[in-house]
Amino acid sequence: MAQDVCPVKAEPTLSFTQGLILGQLSVILLIAAFINFFIFGDPPAAEVTASLRATERRSRTLAHKKSLLSLRTSNPNARHASQQPPALSKKKSNILRGNPPTLTIGSILNKTYYKVDSHQPESLDWFNVLVAQTIAQFRSDAQHDDAILTSLTKALNGTSRPDFLDEIRVTELSLGEDFPIFSNCRIIPVDEDGLSFGPGKAFDANMATREGVRLQARMDVDLSDMITLALETKMLLNYPKRLSAMLPVALAVSVVRFSGTLSISFIPSNPSENTPTKMTFTFLDDYRLDFSIRSLLGSRSRLQDVPKIAQLVESRLHRWFDERCVEPRFQEIALPSMWPRKKNTRGGDDTIANIEQSISKAKGGDVAKDLRAEARKEVEAEADARADRVHDSLRLRRRPRAEDTFASGSMPGSMPGMNIDIPM
């Protein structure tokens, strides 16, 4: 009998309603904690963030150098074979001197009296003035022309724009007021891969040809300004159906500080491959780039300057800059021919001729305007005179009477010279 008795089940201490309320509260607490710590949390200090980014870039550069050195040690023959110039099938001209001296890095340094190991860094005051004039002219052209604004709008609304963003509008564009300052310029010999030699190793100019060494100019760059780009758009929610909701977003990004080291070098032309002379430039990994980012979300109840949005935008901008012009990556620009050409000549008699031509065009335009004005005045005067004659003829015209018709004694239709006397 005792075995047939069913065990008593433990009843839950909380009812269904209490469990539902507890679950909802836990979800709300999790969402509140996420919003508080991940969205509205205080961002780390700028110095800490800059130090972390510099450490990451430095480790990436060292890893790249180690991989290059490992490739050199594993395949030394391939490197020397790639340096041998290929045989040219094109026959050389006999007009030029038969055996010109070979242009090497050592001969360039000797003839320019530049000692890489002992030469002091140079200031670039004259270069700063030229760069400032160029930037000032660029800013002046941008004030009178909407080309840069049109190009930015077209680039932002190109094919790379995500589907969840509406049309992007540029609301503010400020190109700044200050100019970059270049200083501490020095010449550094680097190998064919752009790696500099060790600091304790003296540079041997005679090894330049064998090692594929080229000269690289390094200069410090510093800019403190306020270059601002402000945008407005809408975030589109396309789930569960298209345009289910829209969230207005306003974002303003300002570059407030940039400091770093710029490296410039030249790659000689290769006649066998028909490649022109190229200039390459890159920034070392020790640069500092600071932004000021302002954000505004919503239309009525707005969220202003969300820290997480500022961190995401700043991280994205740093990644964009690192992927394009921070070592080991670099930008390459093909240079045109430096030989003097007539079509590129300016100044002298050509300047005077251009001034005279512009003056003659201006005078011709003034003469044409005067002729058109005189012709217009003559036409108006003739039209006024014609109108006055018509008005006078209408005012003096009256209906003819019989005595006026036959007063002269002539009969309508009679022969000329024959008069008829009619007694009145």
- Does residue 38 contact residue 307 with C-beta atoms inside 8 Å? no
Identify the H or E element spanning 309: helix 307-325
- Does residue 157 contact residue 92 with C-beta atoms inside 8 Å? no
292: Cβ contacts below 8 Å, ≥ 6 apart: 226, 253, 254, 256
Assigned token pair, 51: 């130090």
The rounded distance, in Å, linking the Cα atoms of 242 and 294 is: 29
Identify the H or E element spanning 282: strand 278-283
Query: Does residue 261 sit in helix, strand or coil?
Result: strand
246: Cβ contacts below 8 Å, ≥ 6 apart: 166, 234, 235, 236, 237
The residue type found at 155 is: A
Segments in 112-241 forming alpha helices (H)? 125-144, 147-156, 208-211
Picking from 330, 323, 328, the residue whose alpha carbon sits closest to that of residue 67 is 328
Give the pLDDT of residue 396. Answer: 46
Give the pLDDT of residue 405. Answer: 47
The secondary structure of residue 312, as a DSSP letter, is H
Backbone angles phi, psi at 178, to 5 degrees: -95, 180
- Does residue 169 contact residue 153 with C-beta atoms inside 8 Å? yes
The rounded distance, in Å, linking the Cα atoms of 342 and 365 is: 30
Give the pLDDT of residue 99. Answer: 59
> One digit per residue, pLDDT tens: the chain, 424 residues?
455 555 655 566 667 777 778 888 888 888 777 776 666 666 677 777 878 888 888 888 888 777 877 876 776 665 555 555 544 455 555 565 555 566 677 788 888 888 887 888 888 999 999 999 999 999 998 888 778 888 888 888 888 888 888 899 999 999 999 999 999 999 988 877 667 766 656 666 655 555 567 889 999 999 999 999 999 999 887 766 776 788 899 999 999 999 999 999 988 877 777 888 889 999 999 899 999 999 998 877 778 888 888 888 999 999 999 999 998 888 999 888 777 777 767 766 655 666 666 666 655 666 567 767 777 787 777 777 776 665 555 454 455 555 554 444 555 445 555 554 544 4
The rounded distance, in Å, linking the Cα atoms of 165 and 130 is: 41
Query: Does residue 74 sit in helix, strand or coil?
Result: helix
Picking from 313, 312, 83, the residue whose alpha carbon sits closest to that of residue 212 is 83
Q: CA 236 → CA 242, 252, 300, 417, distances in Å?
A: 8, 20, 17, 103
Assigned token pair, 28: 């709300």
Strand partners, 220: 183, 261
The rounded distance, in Å, linking the Cα atoms of 31 and 253 is: 29
Which sequence spans correspond to the domains of the chain? 101-338
The rounded distance, in Å, linking the Cα atoms of 292 and 224 is: 12
Give the pLDDT of residue 353. Answer: 64
Picking from 181, 261, 259, 179, the residue whose alpha carbon sits closest to that of residue 217 is 261
Give the pLDDT of residue 129. Answer: 96
Give the pLDDT of residue 394. Answer: 45
